[in-house]
Structure 1
Amino acid sequence: MGESFVNIGEILQSLRKYKGMSLADLAEDICTVEELTLIEKNKQVPTIDELFRLANKLNVNLSDFFDFTSADSMSYVSAVSGLIKKFKRDRNYQAIYEIVQREKKNPLFNFPSSKQFLHWHEAICLYYLADSNNRNKQSSISMLIEAIELTNPSKKGLTEQEIEIKMSIALIEKDDQCFEKAITLLKEILDDMEKLPSLSDPQVKLRALFGLAQSLTRIEKYDESLKYCEKGIQQCINDEILYLLGEFLYQAGLNYKHIGKIELSRETLNKSLQVFKLQEKENLTKLVEKELEKIPS
């Protein structure tokens, strides 16, 4: 058990009793009573998501679980960053926005890279939370450029976090149907990644490859899109991860259909279907099933 969690159980139990809540009251909709009992006894470590919800129910700040006079302050920054990343995977931009607004006033986020992290995610939220007809793309992109400049005014020799921010710009361009701009940026991003000694998160490259594959399909460059689909599929296999594997297979299946390779399209879409079923992604499963129905037998 990591040092940053040593006192969490005691703090939770103390706050729960102070608020006059039973174990069942606090655990409801968050975890089981048995799990909460183990957490309070420091025999089980809560996930950051669980901790966030427990803090909300107790009406305290997440930071109350961390000792800011020790090195654990960085554990708090990491915990909040991890929670934001989780909500980003779920596309829960409202939750991200609320966290960002709260933490902007927190002195722990005054360090350049931490301030950059919040500025980056605020820009994303302002774009995706706006009504599709009222989105101010340029304002969000300007904020993302400002975020990069907080740590790298020259915008040369980008770090991994700076590359991810640049990728957010590319994905906004893609979502705004500006596919040529997105493709140019994403190809630059792949070059930026090659200059790094390594990537701490290999999923970053997968996101760039998938954004490229999608954008190229949209401008009818199916063969080139297939090239990036294959790179993504191969990386998923090499890294032994399912992340975006189903999506790459689906995109490849669409490309094969467009270039007239019907049997290969059906085969690839079926592989995609198997992955989505394994991941229990119902919406994507239905999407592939509908696409398979369109393919002539």
Structure 2
Amino acid sequence: MIDNREDIGSKIYDLRRYFHMTQKELCDGICTQAYISKIENGSLAIAADILFKIAERLGVDVNYFYDTTFPERMDYSLEVEIQAREMVIQDNYIGLKALIEKEEKTPLYENRRFKQFILWHKALCKRYVDKDLEASLDLLNEALFLFNTNQKVKSEREIEILINKANILVDFKQYKQAIDLYEDLLFSVKKLPIIRNHNIEIMIRYNLARCNLMISNYEKTIDHAKKGLTSCRNNRSLYGMGHLYFIIGRAYEEIEQTVQALEFFRKAKQVFELTEENHYYQKALFNLNELQNLHKQV
């Protein structure tokens, strides 16, 4: 048995909460929930083999439970994650590539959870900077294989990585496989006990709408996009709203419902203007003007 029970129990508790895992998820297949509860409150010393398995599930090296610098390392990894996510939002994949190349050389890269994050974002760089879809897909699979939070329920991070994998399947024109994966992920999101990134469902709905538009399934395109807009409103978020309005406009345009198409292109333009997404604003404006001109000629 390993003592120093209060420090270890506290670190297990902090990590579990940080990764939004329940006690049941953490101990599944390792020990009982009552056992992990006693470990976390410091009333029981943990067995060495159990600690190793717990560390593995939490994605940390077992030595972190004895390392007083761990909180600082966790703060550092959080800062890197924040920087990387912000670069993705800004489509700054050149900057992201430089950040990833730097972090691959740090000691923290030996931490499996941090390494998974780096591999995931390296895959994005391979896709958007190097235009190497095969390498990107290989890196995503490596990231997924590296760490599996729970066998029964996909973690929030795994869902995010799998969204990127489905996006690459779309790039390969494997639309059915992509749609099947998106729909499976939508089901997995609904099973999450706690959701940190409330935009996940919006991402999946948008990609389902986009994929269905590509295969001319306009009814499903509109249905998924409108459900995505409902999520935007429920979250009080503009995230993805302009793109969802735009894709509904495109679907209505394809089925020649011009009045509805114009309505949604206008809404898309307004949101893109508000969010200062100039490239997409210009795109919505172009579609709007073109459709208006055609409508006048009829």
CA contact (8 A) 1:149 1:155 kept: no
TM-score where L is the length of structure 2: 0.71
Equivalent position of 1:108 in the other structure:
108
Q: Deviations over 1:255-281 (max 9, x none)?
A: 112222211111111111111111122
Amino acid at match of 2:105: K
Amino acid at match of 1:272: A
Which segments of 5 or more consecutive residues in structure 1 lack a partner in the other structure? 1-67
Equivalent position of 1:96 in the other structure:
96
TM-score where L is the length of structure 1: 0.71
Amino acid at match of 1:269: F
Q: Map residues 53-92 of structure 1 onto 2, 5 A cutoff.
A: 69=69, 71-92=71-92
Say whether 1:174 aligns with 2:179.
Answer: no
Say which is worse superposed, 120-129 or 215-224, in terms of deviation: 120-129
C-alpha displacement of 1:161 = 0.6
Equivalent position of 1:130 in the other structure:
130
C-alpha displacement of 1:70 = 6.2
CA contact (8 A) 2:175 2:211 kept: yes
Amino acid at match of 1:183: I
CA contact (8 A) 1:249 1:268 kept: yes
Amino acid at match of 1:161: R
CA contact (8 A) 1:209 1:232 kept: yes
C-alpha displacement of 1:181 = 2.4
Give the superposed CA RMSD.
Answer: 1.9
Cα gap change, 1:217 to 1:70, in 2 (>3 Å): closer
Q: Map residues 133-282 of structure 1 onto 2, 5 A cutoff.
A: 135=132, 137-152=133-148, 156-282=152-278
CA contact (8 A) 1:203 1:243 kept: yes
Higher relative contact order (CA 8 A, sep 6+): 2
CA contact (8 A) 2:149 2:155 kept: no
CA–CA separation in structure 2 for the residues paired with 1:119 and 1:190: 23
C-alpha displacement of 1:217 = 0.5
CA–CA separation in structure 1 for the residues paired with 2:146 and 2:124: 16
Equivalent position of 1:121 in the other structure:
121
Cα gap change, 1:70 to 1:197, in 2 (>3 Å): closer
CA–CA separation in structure 1 for the residues paired with 2:239 and 2:149: 33
Cα gap change, 1:153 to 1:193, in 2 (>3 Å): closer
Say which is worse superposed, 210-219 or 95-104, in terms of deviation: 95-104
CA–CA separation in structure 2 for the residues paired with 1:114 and 1:246: 32
CA–CA separation in structure 2 for the residues paired with 1:127 and 1:281: 22
CA–CA separation in structure 2 for the residues paired with 1:141 and 1:88: 17
Cα gap change, 1:154 to 1:72, in 2 (>3 Å): closer
CA–CA separation in structure 1 for the residues paired with 2:187 and 2:281: 33
CA contact (8 A) 2:201 2:231 kept: no
